[in-house]
A and B are shown apart, each in its own frame.
Chain A
Amino acid sequence: MNITTQSYKPGEHPSLPPPRNLVGPVKWAKDNLFGSITNTILTIVAVYLLYLIVPAILDYFFFNAAFEGSSRAECREIAKGACWAFIDERISVFTYGFYPVEERWRPNLAFVLLFVALAPVLFDKVPYRGKLLVFSLLYPLLAVLLIVGPVSVESMHFSQGVSGPLTWLVIFAFASALFVYGSKTHNALAMVVGIVPAGFVLVAFFLSDALWISIPDSIGLTNAADDIYIFEPVDTHLFGGVLLTIIIGVTGITLSLPIGIVLALGRYSNLPAIRTLCIMFIEFIRGVPLITLLFVASTMLSYFLPPGTDFDLLLRVLIMVTLFASAYMAEVIRGGLQSLPKGQFEAADAMGLKYWQTMRHIILPQALKVSIPGIVNTFIGLYKDTTLVLIIGLLDILGVGKTAISDPAWNGLSTEVYVFVAVFFFVSCFGMSRYSLYLERKLHTGHKR
């Protein structure tokens, strides 16, 4: 090839394709596998080790594994490898825990809708994104209603007298009036102070058994006395397995990000009171192991609550897991905030943007983008940490697995269970990390200065 030796007049040299040996798989193999003598030796050794290990693993888990049988002994008769029949028999417990069989369509539906709700949040080329985002916002309510069913809010029942429902109504009327007033006069404080209680009343009513049980009951639509419901309430003690893991993981992940952002902005703020409060919260939560917080949630909290209050254990755990993750999230995001040059704030100030406008349009998009690896790291950590709930007696996928192992008929099959649990977590976490790479690529906007 004499391309390089061909001569052009100065200033007229065309752009040429790169030489063949600089691109393609051959070049890759040369660079990465056989770059030097040491490299070549290591490659050969690695290939030999793979040759030893991989077939044995495939043999144990697939080719020599038993997929049928009703006990460990039967499995062993069929094949020497893994006994997947065990997992197969237990799969419904692994998935739902002890959730009532005839109600399982509800978590199934909630699970499918979860993806409908996530799609517009995760990807921006989804059709009808705007409308779907509204659905995403309402999804948490729907999910609670589907999975847990109506929540008992006794003071909303007219059977308890008029004063209870009336109080709720008055609160709602007053709060929404305040909100309307705030939006008319552009008073953000009045809007916030109004929307929070008004929203709370709406949510409580939407989830309450007054709406789903006592009203349909009184107009003859259902008959609670004969166990006929629109949505039967399901005790959260029955939740388990993948269902419980996903509930805790998804709740923690979706709530810890916004709370973490608020905490990070608070810690970064100029107002000493807010800053101190956020620092205290973050440092306290970070300074205590999650297990301790879970124990507090499961036992100690009942000392502090007024006697007789029944505060759902799962709810307490969700709060603790969320707070824990939020504190970490706040620090990750603060790192992102600190990586921004001061000029970004100054340019925004000089253009007259308000604090929240600056944060929303300029600072957070950039800070969150640099924090993506850390944020996803925290997500994955949180997701795997949900297994700690088994210590306080909740049966997540690992907890269900541990109880399954102690079944005498299937004695000694812990490998299969742990491999199953590991594969479940690996698939979820690997998915998250792939998504974060996609997001980083998408948000990449050319070289930094």
Chain B
Amino acid sequence: MSDVAEKAKSMVNTDEVAIQINQMHKWYGEFHVLKNINLTVPRGERIVICGPSGSGKSTMIRCINRLEEHQQGEIIVDGIELTNDLKNIDAIRREVGMVFQHFNLFPHLTVLENCTLAPIWVRKTPKQEAEETAMHFLNKVKIPEQAHKYPGQLSGGQQQRVAIARSLCMNPRIMLFDEPTSALDPEMISEVLETMIDLAKTGMTMLCVTHEMGFARKVADRVIFMDGGEIIEENEPEEFFTNPQNDRTKLFLSQILNH
């Protein structure tokens, strides 16, 4: 292990730091998509990531649970460094839940089965217990009555809430959201955001890529602005929206706020 990595690791106190990203770079072939990403997320912090399309937001949060591989630098999640070691990857994926833009529910399984699959097979939870947990979280996202339906029979907003419940059933310590509301019709956005606000109140560590500025204002501890594969600016929501420093941030904010 290199000197830098050694030092960084000693700095990480797993009780307080959920995610630590040091000098991380990623390329897609020749294309340098993430450039020198540095980010420390204390446990319980809620971060909103925004930025123009193609700026690398999705890629960055997908690196955190190894849906994408980074080529340089280090990522430490929950005290475990992400390497090619499958054991580490599995351990991290057990602790990190993810919600996708297109829900990615399993259409051939009922809502309840969607929620119990991973607990049963990954955590080896007994079926009955897994179902109780699932009903608990389906209650939390306010759709217990849909438990025996198939995803194809639900509205978009309901599907996304199922997806959130499904992630929570694994009892993750960190939740990643990649534009959870941008595939939804306007009247369904608020029901999903409410669910996320409820989740934030429980003290969950959340990283959320979204352009819902109302949500950012309400729950975020910190807003991160990315462009061209770099973190351009980060600040508390109030400061970030009222007093952006960088020109690109100003341009971006003017575009989405006047929209």
Contacts and interface: CB of A to CB of B under 8 A. Distances in A.
Nearest to A360: B121
Contact of B93 (A349, A369, A448): A349
A445 B107 contact: yes
A355 to B, nearest CB: 10
A366 B108 contact: yes
B106 A446 contact: no
A351 B122 contact: yes
Interface in A121-156: none
Interface string A413-449: 0000000000000000000000000000001011111
Nearest to B113: A361
B18 interface: no
Given A352-B170, A361-B117, A448-B152, A347 B106 contact: yes
A343 interface: yes
A449 B102 contact: yes
Range of interface residues on A (Cβ < 8 Å): 20 to 34
Nearest to B92: A352
Nearest to A369: B108
B121 A357 contact: yes
A352 B107 contact: no
B152 A449 contact: yes
B118 A344 contact: no
Range of interface residues on B (Cβ < 8 Å): 20 to 34
A223 B255 CA distance: 95
A349 B66 CA distance: 9
Contacts of A445: 107-108, 150, 152
Contacts of B220: none
B97 A350 contact: yes
Contacts of A365: 108
Interface string B128-162: 00000000000000000000011111000000000
A361 B108 CA distance: 10
B65 interface: yes
Interface string A308-351: 00000000000000000000000000000000010110110111
Contact of B108 (A350, A353, A443): A443
B121 A361 contact: yes
Contact of A446 (B97, B100, B153, B170): B153
A344 to B, nearest CB: 6
B25 interface: no
A350 B96 contact: yes
Interface of A: 341, 343-344, 346-347, 349-354, 357, 361-362, 365-366, 369, 443, 445-449
11 contacts: A346-B100, A349-B67, A351-B122, A351-B170, A352-B94, A353-B121, A361-B117, A362-B106, A362-B117, A443-B108, A446-B149
Given A347-B98, A446-B150, 9 more contacts: A343-B100, A343-B102, A343-B103, A344-B104, A349-B66, A350-B97, A351-B118, A351-B122, A352-B118
